[in-house]
């Protein structure tokens, strides 16, 4: 657990796969404890203090609620799922959550109208670029697509045959607030899969993460929020270029691990909210919708 960064990616992207599931390595500790008790070995039981300490050093801070009340702005993000059977219901649920700024990923041409209709009353401003969109209670300006070099690769045929997906999966826009402009990025990086041959396939995602990191590095904005499905956890080395410039709200003020995927039994937080130049106040996972992801939300202050 402590040396995860030393695990090489040369063979099947093993290092990134371990980092994606890193918190779950703690499940081996009670297994080892059971073995120590079965062997009646005091030395083996004492030796378990090492992995316990290692796990707590990495994730102990996530076990307490660090949120604070009084955020100036609430932002949320949700991969609504191209195969969502009830986009209108998902729109109603998201509108009821009350976020000031709402990012949606995996929008399809077939379902876009349902989201625009369902969110129109709560959000007078919105923009859609390809498969990502931003709905806001505050005015938007200077919207532009961001090229994250999407390549579906071996996943091109995994979406339903009747679903139309665009290739643009990221945008940048400016939200006008009482405290000045807030730059918001919405991104949906390429999917990852554990392939029978080749191991952990992350080529498209890693290329997108690098392109997004370069866009963030070149952005002179003082206040930046990144919302989206990044298809990876912030422990993964692939996001070093992003985490060196933005701060994870979940890591700063979250309550628990904040796992967001898959919705029925979440095992990883791949839906992220990261910030620069604003103060994180709270982070939470919202109730399930018709999607295979859970929505995530955060409160920020100036």
For 17, the 3-state DSSP assignment is: helix
Regarding the domain delimited by 73-301, which CATH topology (the fold level of the hierarchy) does it fall under? Deoxyribonuclease I; Chain A (3.60.10)
**Tokens 């009084």 — which residue?**
70
Strand ranges (E), 120-270: 125-129, 132-136, 140-145, 170-177, 180-188, 193-195, 199-201, 224-229, 247-248
* Tokens, residue 52: 């316990």
* Tokens, residue 34: 């059971």
| pLDDT single digits (tens) 202-230 | 999 999 999 999 999 999 999 999 999 99
- Whether the CB-CB separation of 77 and 250 falls below 8 Å is answered with no
Res 99: pLDDT: 98
| pLDDT single digits (tens) 37-62 | 999 999 999 999 999 999 999 999 99
Buried b (16+ CB within 10 A) or exposed e, 121-160: ebbebbbbbbbbbbbbbbebeeeeebebebeeeeeeeebe
Locate the domains of the chain by residue range. Answer: 4-63, 73-301
- Least confident interval from 9-13, 19-23, 93-97, 283-287: 9-13
Backbone phi, then psi, for 180, in 5-degree steps?
A: 115, -175
Q: CA-based angle 60:62:66, to the nearest 5?
A: 120
Is it true that the peptide bond before 32 is cis, omega within 30 degrees of 0?
no
- How many CB atoms neighbour CB 54 within 10 A? 16
pTM, full prediction: 0.92
Report the candidate in 68, 143, 138 with the shortest Cα–Cα distance to residue 102: 138
- How many CB atoms neighbour CB 16 within 10 A? 24
> Residue 295 gets which letter from DSSP?
-
d(CA 182, CA 175): 5
| Band of residue 157 on the pLDDT scale cut at 50, 70, 90 | very low
Res 145: pLDDT: 97
């Amino acid at each position: 657990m402590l040396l995860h960064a030393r695990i090489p990616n040369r063979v099947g992207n093993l290092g990134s796969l371990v980092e994606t599931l890193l918190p779950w390595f703690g499940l081996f500790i009670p297994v080892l404890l059971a073995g120590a008790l079965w062997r009646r070995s005091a030395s083996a039981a004492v030796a378990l203090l090492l992995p316990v300490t290692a796990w707590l050093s990495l994730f102990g801070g996530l076990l307490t609620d660090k949120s604070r009340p009084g955020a100036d702005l609430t932002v949320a993000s949700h991969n609504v799922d191209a195969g969502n059977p009830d986009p209108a219901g998902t729109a109603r649920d998201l509108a009821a959550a009350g976020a000031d700024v709402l990012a949606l990923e995996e929008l399809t041409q077939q379902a876009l109208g349902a989201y625009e209709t369902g969110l129109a009353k709560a959000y007078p401003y919105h923009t859609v670029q390809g498969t990502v969109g931003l709905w806001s209670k505050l005015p938007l300006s200077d919207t532009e697509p961001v090229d994250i070099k999407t390549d579906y690769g071996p996943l091109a045929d995994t979406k339903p045959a009747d679903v139309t997906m665009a290739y643009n999966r990221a945008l940048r826009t400016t939200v006008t607030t009482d405290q000045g402009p807030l730059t918001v990025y919405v991104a949906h990086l390429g999917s990852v899969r554990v392939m029978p041959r080749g191991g952990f396939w992350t080529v498209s995602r890693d290329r997108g993460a690098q392109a997004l990191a370069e866009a963030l590095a070149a952005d002179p904005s003082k206040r930046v929020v990144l919302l989206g499905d990044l298809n990876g956890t912030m422990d993964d080395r692939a996001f070093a270029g992003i985490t060196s410039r933005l701060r994870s709200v979940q890591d700063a003020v979250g309550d628990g691990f904040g796992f967001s995927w898959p919705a029925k039994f979440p095992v990883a937080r791949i839906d992220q909210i990261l910030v620069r130049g604003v103060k994180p106040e709270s982070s939470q996972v919202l109730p399930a919708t018709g999607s295979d992801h859970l929505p995530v939300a955060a409160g920020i202050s100036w």
